[in-house]
Structure 1
Amino acid sequence: MQAKSLLLAGGALLAATTGVQASGFQVGLSGQKNVGMGGTGTGLYLDQAAQFYNPGAFVFVAYNSVQGGLNMAIPRISFRGDGGGPQETLQNKNVFPFNGYAGYSISEKFKVGVGFYTPFGSELHYAQGWTGRYTLTDINLRSVFGQVTASYAITPKLGIGAGLVVLAYGDVDLQRDIPIQGQNGAVAHAALTGKADHKVGYNVGIMYKPSDKFSIGASYRSAIDARISSGDVTVSNVPASVASNFTARNFSATLPLPAVYSLGLGVRPTEQLTLALDANLVDWSTYKSLDFTYTGGVLGGANATSSSSVRNYKAALALRVGGQYKVSDKFMVRAGGFYDFSCVRDGYVTPETPDAARVGLTAGFTYQVSEHFGIDGSFLFEDFAKRSQSQADLLANNTTDRVAGTYKTVISVPGIGVHYKF
Structure 2
Amino acid sequence: MNKHSLTLIIAAALAAVSASAGASGYRFGSQSVSSQGTAEANGAEAADPSTIFANPAGLSRLEGRQLQGGVTALVPHSTFNDSGSTRFTGGRTGGLTSQDDYAPEAVAAPSLYYSQKINDQWTAGFGMFVPYGTNLSYDWNWSGRYALTNIKLTAITLNPSVAFKVNERHSFGFGIDAEFMKASLGQGVDVPGSIIAAQATGTGVVLARQIAALGGNPALLGTAGDAHASVEGKDWGYGFNIGYLYQPAEGTRFGVAYRSSIKHELRGGAIWDFSTITSDQVVNRVVQAASHHVNSAALVELRTPETLSLNGYHEFNSQWAGMADLTWTRNSRMQNIDIQFLGTTSGDEVIRQQWKNTWRFALGTNYKLNENVTLRGGIAHDQAPINGVALRHAALPDADRNQLSFGANWKLSPQSSIDVAYSYLDFKDATGNYTNLCRPGLETCTGNGETTRGTWRTHMQLLGLAYNYKF
Q: Over residues 354-398 of structure 1, what are the superposed CA-to-partner deviations in whole Å (9 max), with x where a residue is unaligned?
A: 11111011111111111212111111110110121347x888xxx
Distance between the aligned counterparts of 1:179 and 1:4, measured in 2?
Answer: 13
Alignment equivalent of 1:189, drawn from 208, 228, 238: 228
1:421 matches 2:450: no
- Show the counterpart of 1:319: 361
Q: Which range moved further: 178-187 or 345-354?
A: 178-187
**Residues 139 and 175 of structure 1 are in contact (CA less than 8 Å); yes or no, is this contact kept in structure 2?**
yes
**Residues 15 and 337 of structure 2 are in contact (CA less than 8 Å); yes or no, is this contact kept in structure 1?**
no
- Show the counterpart of 2:392: 349
Report the secondary structure of 1:352's partner residue: coil
**Residues 274 and 285 of structure 2 are in contact (CA less than 8 Å); yes or no, is this contact kept in structure 1?**
no
Report the secondary structure of 1:234's partner residue: strand
Q: Which has the higher helix share?
A: 2
**Residues 365 and 378 of structure 1 are in contact (CA less than 8 Å); yes or no, is this contact kept in structure 2?**
yes
Deviation at 1:290, TM superposition (A): 2.4
- Show the counterpart of 1:227: 265
Matched letter for residue 341 of structure 1: Q
1:90 to 1:10, Cα distance in 2 relative to 1, 3 A: farther
1:295 matches 2:332: no
Report the secondary structure of 2:404's partner residue: strand
Distance between the aligned counterparts of 2:15 and 2:385, measured in 1?
Answer: 17
Distance between the aligned counterparts of 2:315 and 2:354, measured in 1?
Answer: 41
Deviation at 1:126, TM superposition (A): 0.6
**Residues 256 and 309 of structure 2 are in contact (CA less than 8 Å); yes or no, is this contact kept in structure 1?**
yes
Matched letter for residue 331 of structure 2: W
Provide the identity percentage: 23
1:50 to 1:266, Cα distance in 2 relative to 1, 3 A: same
Deviation at 1:44, TM superposition (A): 2.1
Alignment of 1:213-252 (within 5 A): 213-229=251-267, 231-237=268-274, 239-244=284-289, 245-252=292-299
Q: Over residues 52-84 of structure 1, what are the superposed CA-to-partner deviations in whole Å (9 max), with x where a residue is unaligned?
A: 101122211234211111111111121122259
Q: Over residues 146-199 of structure 1, what are the superposed CA-to-partner deviations in whole Å (9 max), with x where a residue is unaligned?
A: 0111101111111101001111x3211101111104999564111001221x22
Q: Over residues 221-267 of structure 1, what are the superposed CA-to-partner deviations in whole Å (9 max), with x where a residue is unaligned?
A: 000122213x0211112522232301242111023211000000101
Q: CA RMSD in A?
A: 2.6
Deviation at 1:25, TM superposition (A): 2.2
- Show the counterpart of 1:307: 349
Deviation at 1:4, TM superposition (A): 6.2
- Show the counterpart of 1:300: none
Q: Which has the larger radius of gyration?
A: 2
Alignment equivalent of 2:318, drawn from 254, 259, 271: 271
1:44 to 1:253, Cα distance in 2 relative to 1, 3 A: same
1:112 matches 2:127: no
- Show the counterpart of 1:141: 153
Q: What is the TM-score of this pair, normalised by structure 2? A: 0.81
1:125 to 1:171, Cα distance in 2 relative to 1, 3 A: same
- Show the counterpart of 2:189: 178
Report the secondary structure of 1:8's partner residue: helix
Report the secondary structure of 1:33's partner residue: helix
Distance between the aligned counterparts of 2:11 and 2:41, measured in 1?
Answer: 28
Report the secondary structure of 2:36's partner residue: helix
The 4+ residue runs of structure 1 with deviation greater than 4 A are: 2-5, 14-21, 83-86, 181-186, 399-402
Alignment of 1:22-421 (within 5 A): 22-83=23-84, 86-93=97-104, 94-167=106-179, 169-181=180-192, 185=224, 187-196=226-235, 198-229=236-267, 231-237=268-274, 239-244=284-289, 245-297=292-344, 304-346=346-388, 347-390=390-433, 403-421=452-470
Q: Which range moved further: 91-100 or 144-153?
A: 91-100
Structure 2 residues without counterparts, runs of 5 or longer? 86-95, 193-219, 276-283, 438-446
Number of residue pairs matched?
411
Q: Which has the higher strand share?
A: 1
Distance between the aligned counterparts of 2:450 and 2:416, measured in 1?
Answer: 52
Distance between the aligned counterparts of 1:63 and 1:90, measured in 2?
Answer: 47
